[in-house]
Amino acid sequence: MEQAGVEMGLYCEHFFPWFMEKMGDSSNDIVKNLRRDTLNGLAGDVLEIGFGIGANTPYYTSGIRSVTALEPNAGMIRRAKRYISGSSIPITFVKGSAETLSFADNAFDAVVSTMTLCSVGGLSEALMEIYRVIRPGGAFHFFEHVAAHNPIDRGLQNILTPVTKTIFCGCHLNREIESVIVSTGFHIKDINRDRQRIGIMPEFMSYFIHGVALRKQDI
């Protein structure tokens, strides 16, 4: 999970980026396919929030003119610059928070978030900022793990979220991300609601959404 919007410490800035790179998803076909599907159709100038180590980079297509990589963790940025060194797409790093984007209104053709909204400090604030910086006709591409609809799994998520917030530097297991995307003003054009175990991930952590949302006035 790409980390964003939480206070940095030695663990989050130094160990966690190393852990994310070692854990990776290069051998996991489920995650690779979800990333590829999420990024399908992107073009023009793209902002990715919570860039992490750059795991989406192999799935950015030639139709993309530029990528602005927003990441609050300096340790992630250092590792990402090595990890993506072979990319042919111009990538500019910006150290900052999704809740307070430093970009002008309508600055990007699209915004991407993969496994990031679980960790932002303020979910509603981050989505309002994402909405603001997308140009008319643009889209928000997302792939996130979300709150379980099974009450037993939801209960486990609620119990363990304080633990995952520490281990994964801000990660909430139990966020209702889809409903907040809609309440922000987005129209969801496409969405897949999946329940898939990835690697050794337990059942209660296997709830995902991925899709594309548009600004309502641009439909």
Confidence of residue 23 (pLDDT cuts 50, 70, 90): confident
Structural domains for the chain: 10-218 (3.40.50.150)
For the chain, give the longest Cα–Cα distance: 45
pTM reported for the whole predicted model: 0.91
Cβ neighbour number for residue 110 with a 10 Å cutoff = 22
- Range list of H helices, 24-122: 29-39, 74-83
Token code pair at residue 27: 């051998």
Alpha carbons within 13 A on the beta-carbon side of 44: 16
Confidence of residue 199 (pLDDT cuts 50, 70, 90): confident
Query: How confident is the model at residue 20, as a pLDDT?
Result: 85
What angle is formed at CA 8 by the lines to CA 6 and CA 11, rounded to 5 degrees?
A: 120
pLDDT tens digit sequence for 180-196: 999 999 999 999 998 88
> For the residues 111-127, what does the mean pLDDT come to?
96
